Amino acid sequence: MLHVISALVENKFGAFNRVVTMFSAKGYNIHSISIGETEDPTISRMTIVTEGEDKVIEQIVKQLNRLIDTIKIIDLTYQPKVQRELLLISVGYQKGTRSEIIDICEIFRGNVVDINNKTLMLEITGPPEKIDAAINVLEPYGIKEIARSGLVALRRGEQSRKNIKEETETNKVGELK
């Protein structure tokens, strides 16, 4: 099963390498990995998509935690989250297929970002399944090149306690009535 792990790491020389080295040294798979600075410039967030049984994932999380340069590791797999991937895809077109491709792009809420007399480049974002679906649908037109960003994900904001409490109380009142 695929797991999404979010790791906050020191924004330092070598930190990314340490994480990747750990994966290769222990023989774990990396499906995708992305890294970027966070709201705190001294911290980077890595989003790692990896595969394994629960026992393996537990070890991965522990091994990541063990690295000195990692600050916080969260397995987002079972958490409410927003996850997105960016796809840049270059598709060939002939007379008549151009508008079809643009239609498809619109259905996926993407943008046309480049065009010449042979190819169109589209930009589509979304969860990985949506990206897979877009690639699938565009396949027959002749895909020239693909670049995928790898997944980025964030846990959804928690509903504050106060709001939840108020809600339940309202409900209770409602029931009593």
Total residues at interface with another protein (CB under 8 A): 21
Cα 124 to Cα 90: distance, rounded to the nearest angstrom: 11
User: Which residue's CB is nearer to another protein, number 73 or number 89?
Assistant: 73
Interface positions, 109-168, toward another protein (CB under 8 A): none
* Contacting range for another protein; rule: CB under 8 A; set: 20-28, 75-83, 89-97, 125-133: 20-28
Give the nearest distance from C-beta 1 to another protein in angstroms: 18
* Main-chain phi, psi angles of 69, to 5 degrees: -85, -5
User: Which residue's CB is nearer to another protein, number 21 or number 170?
Assistant: 21
Check binding of 71 to another protein (CB under 8 A). yes
Q: What is the DSSP string of 40-81?
A: STTEEEEEEEEE--HHHHHHHHHHHHHSTTEEEEEE-TTS-E
49 CB neighbour count, 10 Å cutoff = 22
* Contacting range for another protein; rule: CB under 8 A; set: 14-22, 106-114, 143-151, 163-171: 14-22
Check binding of 176 to another protein (CB under 8 A). no
Question: What's the burial of 170, exposed, middle or buried (CB within 10 Å: 0-12/13-18/19+)?
Answer: exposed
Eight-class DSSP state of 158:
P
- The contact set with another protein (CB under 8 A) reads 9-10, 13-14, 17-18, 21-22, 25, 55, 58-59, 62-63, 65-71
